Amino acid sequence: MTRYADIPKPIRSGIVVVNPDTGTPQRIIILQFNPDTLERSLAPQSAGGQNAEGGGAGGGDRNEALRLKGPAEETWKFTAEIDATDQLEIAAPDGIHPQLATLEMLVQPTTAQLREAARQTKNGTIEITPIEMPLTLFTWGSKRVLPVRLTELSINESAFDVDLNPIRASLGIGLKVLSVSDLPAGHRGADLYMAHLAQKERLAAAARGGSLGALGLGGRDLTTLGRG
């Protein structure tokens, strides 16, 4: 007889909302199902500006061609699924409203914050400081813990209960990884980004290197290529 208890539970991806001052998790959002695919994009911060890659006239300062101003700008996109019918043992009188609201509050100020901003305006404060949101981390296993900002949240509700509470939805989520270029020095998120980048360096160092022979170049000195 199969012993289901021996089957290890899969690690879930998720989002952790953290107090940036204390590092204390304020809310942990575990994705019900791990996304099937991840779309990741990295754009280098070239020192030569937008035209540095173009070459030729107007191609930027040649001395800057191989220089970087900072870490690459990285974005993630994926689709998450929420389905109350897959968790029938859990009471859900509001359907998946709570799960959706939790994600939506990642891009919304609270009513208390809005009231405080209104109070400052009423008292004649000339410049209202934009509302700062908590630090948000996206986790995809132990090797990917990233400080992020939610840049896109599209919700496609596809099933409802008799009270019109949504019980199934597909979420399109877009994230921008926050690097040391986005956060002030000493910010907890900046430290977490540095740890994430150090993890990438360790993984890159563990990769097996290739050989010039595999490229059809043999043991030739690369500086002699193109000389006939």
Output the pLDDT for position 55.
47
Q: Report the SS3 class of residue 182.
A: coil
Q: What is the pLDDT of residues 35-66, one digit of tens each?
A: 999 999 999 988 876 544 444 455 567 788 88
Alpha carbon distance 166, 201 (integer Å): 43
- 39: Cα separation from own chain's centroid: 11
Alpha carbon distance 152, 176 (integer Å): 9
Alpha carbon distance 85, 97 (integer Å): 14
- In the predicted model, is pLDDT for residue 1 greater than 90? no
Q: What is the pLDDT of residues 109-140, one digit of tens each?
A: 889 988 988 888 888 776 777 777 889 999 99
Tokens representing residue 21 in the block: 């001052």
Share the mean pLDDT of the chain.
Answer: 85
Where is average pLDDT lowest: 70-84, 122-136, 192-206?
Answer: 122-136
- Does the pTM surpass 0.85? The reply is no
Count of other CB atoms within 10 angstroms of residue 144: 15
Arithmetic mean of pLDDT, 148-160: 95
- 114: Cα separation from own chain's centroid: 26
| AA letter at 6 | D
Answer whether 110's CB lies under 8 Å from 36's CB.
Answer: no
Evaluate the CA torsion angle 110, 115, 116, 118 in order and state its sign. Answer: positive
